């Protein structure tokens, strides 16, 4: 894909000061790009910094380091009023539709809200737009007069998607949008998101701890560990030939849940470092089967992989010798 990125995140850092001169190093030196119509997946264990990246990209949080360029504009240190002006072009969908929607408002009113906020429309036009939006997310018109308590989780998440696309955003950040839903409902929401992406050309940042979901929806995967990128690659490559030892462990955990594969699961042992005092070397070294002294000395930079993508591991070439033929 050669289109100009809609979002460029360059060496992003986010620290949360927690007093006594200490801070949580939640995001360290993270870079990625999203092009129009592309979905980039952020995956990692709990606490790996996924939501912090999403919230910083949306400028709900201020970055501590690095640069964020959205739609050609450097938004790294945008004022609060500048951030407000961004909101219509950057939207979000969260994990829990129950808590992101006002329980006293009808579905119709919930879908009309972003139009009230960002578009100057008359009441009749707004009503017509809300009905068209409901149709685009496949929400039956009969549902529009219901309250959230009278709708299912999947229907509520469709309302959240309708709200997110109401202002024709160029980027949608989705933070675990299907994690709270029943398995049977998840596929329908993923299908809807793919449909919306194709129809609108919006870029998507899809945050999840579930690799299986990314297999279905994302073009590229960014693997995070303790706020740092371990590997970045096209989705097919990540699943066919995971290069970084941490990605290999994640993939093996994902595959071992599938009764058709059941390969030997790579079990991670060892202490996870504290994000308050990260070690000087590779953050994954304490749990990595391949770690040597040099891994603990300096943090590895991302280096290009033969099959596409990049991995942050100084031993990547020797560990993956012959992997090109596997891919």
Ligand X SMILES: Nc1ncnc2c1ncn2[C@@H]1O[C@H](COP(=O)(O)OP(=O)(O)OP(=O)(O)O)[C@@H](O)[C@H]1O
What CA–CA distance (Å, rounded) separates 270 from 289? Answer: 10
**Is the CB of residue 107 less than 8 Å from the CB of residue 159?**
yes
Candidate residues 13, 37, 47, 273; the one interacting with ligand X per rule CB under 6 A: 47
Is 283 near ligand X (CB under 6 A)? no
Binding ligand X (rule: CB under 6 A), the pick from 19, 21, 46, 142 is 46
Q: Which stretch binds ligand X (CB under 6 A): 40-48, 100-108, 142-150, 186-194?
A: 40-48
Q: How many CB atoms lie within 10 A of CB 274?
A: 12
From 49-57, 124-132, 142-150, 316-324, give the range in contact with ligand X by CB under 6 A.
49-57
- Least Å distance, CB 113 to ligand X, is 26
CA distances from 137 to 98, 132, 151, 174, 229 (A): 18, 9, 14, 16, 33
153 touches ligand X by CB under 6 A: no
Could you tell me how many residues of this chain bind ligand X (CB under 6 A)?
A: 14
For 6, 53, 90, 163, 260, the CA distances from 181, given in Å and listed in that order, are 29, 23, 24, 18, 25
Task: State which of positions 161-220 bind ligand X (CB under 6 A).
Answer: 209
Are the beta carbons of 141 and 131 closer than 8 angstroms?
Answer: yes
309 makes contact, choosing from ligand X, Mg ion, none, with CB < 5 to 8 Å by partner type, with none
- Contact residues: Mg ion, CB under 5 A: 50-51
Residue placing its CB nearer to ligand X in the complex, 64 or 200? 64
DSSP reduced 3-state for 290: coil
Closest CA to 267 of 292, 291, 248, 239: 248
Question: Applying CB under 6 A, which residues contact ligand X?
Answer: 16, 18, 24, 26, 44, 46-52, 209, 275
């Amino acid at each position: 894909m050669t289109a100009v990125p809609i979002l460029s995140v360059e060496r992003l850092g986010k620290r949360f000061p927690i007093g006594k001169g200490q801070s949580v190093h939640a995001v360290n030196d993270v870079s990625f790009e999203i092009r129009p119509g592309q979905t980039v997946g952020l995956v990692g264990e709990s606490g790996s910094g996924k939501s912090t990246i999403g919230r910083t990209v949306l400028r709900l949080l201020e970055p501590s380091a690095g640069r964020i360029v959205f739609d050609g504009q450097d938004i790294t240190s945008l004022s609060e009023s500048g951030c407000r002006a961004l909101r219509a072009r950057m939207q979000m969908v969260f994990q829990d539709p129950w808590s992101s929607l006002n329980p006293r408002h009808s579905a119709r009113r919930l879908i009309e809200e972003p139009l009230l906020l960002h578009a100057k429309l008359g009441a009749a036009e707004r009503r017509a737009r809300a009905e068209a939006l409901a149709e685009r997310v496949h929400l039956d018109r009969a549902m529009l007069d219901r309250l959230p308590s009278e709708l299912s989780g999947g229907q509520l998440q469709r309302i959240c998607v309708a709200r997110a696309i109401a202002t024709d955003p160029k980027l949608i950040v989705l933070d675990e949008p299907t994690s709270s839903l029943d398995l049977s409902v998840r596929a329908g929401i993923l299908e809807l998101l793919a449909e919306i992406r194709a129809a609108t050309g919006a870029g998507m940042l899809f945050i999840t701890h579930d690799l299986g979901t990314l297999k279905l929806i994302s073009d590229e995967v960014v693997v995070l560990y303790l706020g740092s990128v371990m590997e970045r690659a096209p989705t097919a490559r990540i699943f066919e030939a995971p290069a970084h030892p941490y990605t290999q462990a994640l993939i093996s955990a994902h595959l071992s849940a599938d009764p058709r594969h059941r390969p030997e699961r790579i079990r991670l042992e060892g202490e996870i470092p504290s994000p308050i005092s990260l070690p000087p070397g590779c953050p994954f070294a304490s749990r990595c089967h391949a770690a040597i002294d040099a891994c603990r000395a300096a943090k590895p930079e991302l280096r290009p992989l033969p099959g596409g993508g990049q991995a942050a591991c100084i031993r990547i070439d020797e560990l993956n010798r012959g992997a090109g033929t596997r891919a």
